[in-house]
Structure 1
Amino acid sequence: MHLELKIFRHFAIGYTALIAMFSDGRAAELIMLEQPGCAWCQRWHQEIGSIYPKTGEGLKAPLRQVNIHQPWPEDLANIKKERFTPTFIVVSNGVEIGRLRGYTGDEFFWYLLNEVLDKLLDPSGLSKDNS
């Protein structure tokens, strides 16, 4: 019984550290830069927008929309602004992980987004190309 308690305690400490590492109040987000009248932004919303929050990707990086003609959000001060819309930026803990410029359809979007989201899981902070 004593051994089981020790194992549980070590598991609980490791689990708590893992949760703390990924949930410091600024979890990953998918920032969508858009502007009124953007046909490709509208297409993204029609094809993906309604289902995105229900997907695994949407759970890892919830969507946050930013109009490029509005004041830039203070918490994105370290993120480079963009004039091209739509642009999708995966941000974690205030750091840009990756950026997708444009939208050419759902298949490319999911593929490219998952390439960026995979970088969130790399504990070294390096992309798979740099390891």
Structure 2
Amino acid sequence: MFKFWRQSRRRSPLALLAFLAAAWPATAAELRLVMFEQPGCVYCDRWNTEIAPQYPLTDEGKAAPVRRLQLREPLPPGLELARPVTFTPTFVLTADDVEAGRLEGYPGEDFFWPLLAGLIAVAEPAP
């Protein structure tokens, strides 16, 4: 890309702005883990016991803080899902309030962490 700029015959201000926009690193999207739950959900209770206390202290919790929503409540304005949530728990990873990935159900803590780390790795831009 820098070679292109050096070889360019026209170095107008617009060309410079276009060059800088293409070369500038993209800003990271705000990630959130949206947990859809409902009263009486046994697997939600398991997640709350096994994962919730340590979640904010983990790299995943810092990268994608959890936001809890009730399954039967209307979606907050601006939240865009790829498809409706039909059961609990469902964990939707969002990037700037747009669905970037989903885990349906709670597979236990041994599987939850690597699955979530994989979703975050796909949603975060490479450095």
Give the TM-score, by structure 2 length.
Answer: 0.74
Q: Tell me if 1:44 matches 2:50.
A: no
Question: What is the letter of the counterpart of residue 100 of structure 1?
Answer: L
Which is richer in helix?
1
Gaps of 5+ in 2: 1-23
Q: Tell me if 1:115 matches 2:118.
A: yes
Deviation of 1:121 after TM superposition, in Å, equals 2.8
Gaps of 5+ in 1: 1-16, 124-131
Deviation of 1:52 after TM superposition, in Å, equals 0.3
Distance 1:121 1:74 in 2: 23
Question: In the alignment, which residue of structure 2 is the partner of 1:129?
Answer: none
Q: Number of aligned pairs?
A: 103
Aligned ranges for residues 120-131 of structure 1 at < 5 Å? 120-123=123-126
Q: Tell me if 1:22 matches 2:25.
A: no
Report the secondary structure of 2:36's partner residue: strand
Distance 1:121 1:28 in 2: 8
Distance 2:96 2:77 in 1: 14
Distance 1:109 1:96 in 2: 18
Report the secondary structure of 2:34's partner residue: strand
Deviation of 1:50 after TM superposition, in Å, equals 0.9
RMSD: 1.8
How much identity, in percent, do the aligned residues show? 41
Question: In the alignment, which residue of structure 2 is the partner of 1:72?
Answer: 75
Distance 1:53 1:122 in 2: 21
